[in-house]
Amino acid sequence: MAERLHRYVYLTASFPYLMLFCLLMRGLSLPGASLGLDKVWVDAVTQVFFSYGLGVGALVALGSYNKYHNNVYKQALTVCCVNSGTSVFAGFVIFSFIGYMAVQQGKTVDEVAQSGPGLLFLAYPSGILQLPYTNVWSILFFCMVLFLGIDSQFCTMEGFFTAVIDEFPALIRGRRHGREMFVL
């Protein structure tokens, strides 16, 4: 079981980077992409802080599984750098498409970017429409969103779940895949 979970995590963690890279290459080639890139920095830094989920306890729960003499400073720095880099990278991708959408709609980038959290479902699909084999890319995009949602949910629930298992270990012991089924 653990072997399958490791393979699932490798797939769901690396697949979004591949998708984002493909979308970035296409987004940067569209007219108006540079208009959106001016706004990336503020929104990317804001996203960095939200993506840590500091109040949820997931990072503390995941850190509790480390070995006692593990180099936690190195791991913490690695997690922070990868998280920050991913947020900035995703910001470049989405704002290149927002710049393109602004040119297409004859609006400013700020007007297009006011859509809020639903912007993901406006900017990326408009970029996917610019790619060949739109149906394949659409399926891959929504699989990526599903994978990211499941991975995020596992991490978010890990803080809560670790506390419950530490307090009531009999709830999970003896149950096959109990932790995973609870999260799903």
Binding positions for Na(+) are 51, 83, 148, 151-152
Indicate whether 184 belongs to any domain. Answer: no
Q: Which residue range(s) make up the domain with 50?
A: 1-174
Provide the 10 A C-beta neighbour count for residue 68.
4
Indicate whether 101 belongs to any domain. Answer: yes
- Residue found by looking up tokens 């003499």 in the block: 69
- pLDDT on residue 183: 58
- pLDDT on residue 104: 85
Indicate whether 28 belongs to any domain. Answer: yes
Both tokens assigned to 148: 């990211």
Percent of the chain whose predicted confidence (pLDDT) is above 70: 83
- pLDDT on residue 21: 92
Indicate whether 180 belongs to any domain. Answer: no
Indicate whether 107 belongs to any domain. Answer: yes
Binding positions are 51, 83, 148, 151-152
Q: Are 110 and 39 in contact (CB under 8 A)?
A: yes
Indicate whether 183 belongs to any domain. Answer: no
In tens, the pLDDT along 117-166 reads: 677 777 778 778 877 888 888 898 888 888 888 877 777 777 777 777 77
Indicate whether 182 belongs to any domain. Answer: no
In tens, the pLDDT along 106-131 reads: 888 878 777 666 777 777 787 788 77
Q: Are 60 and 159 in contact (CB under 8 A)?
A: yes
Q: What global pTM score does this model have? A: 0.75
**How many domains are contained in the chain?**
1
Indicate whether 135 belongs to any domain. Answer: yes
C-alpha–C-alpha distance, residues 41 and 152, integer Å: 23
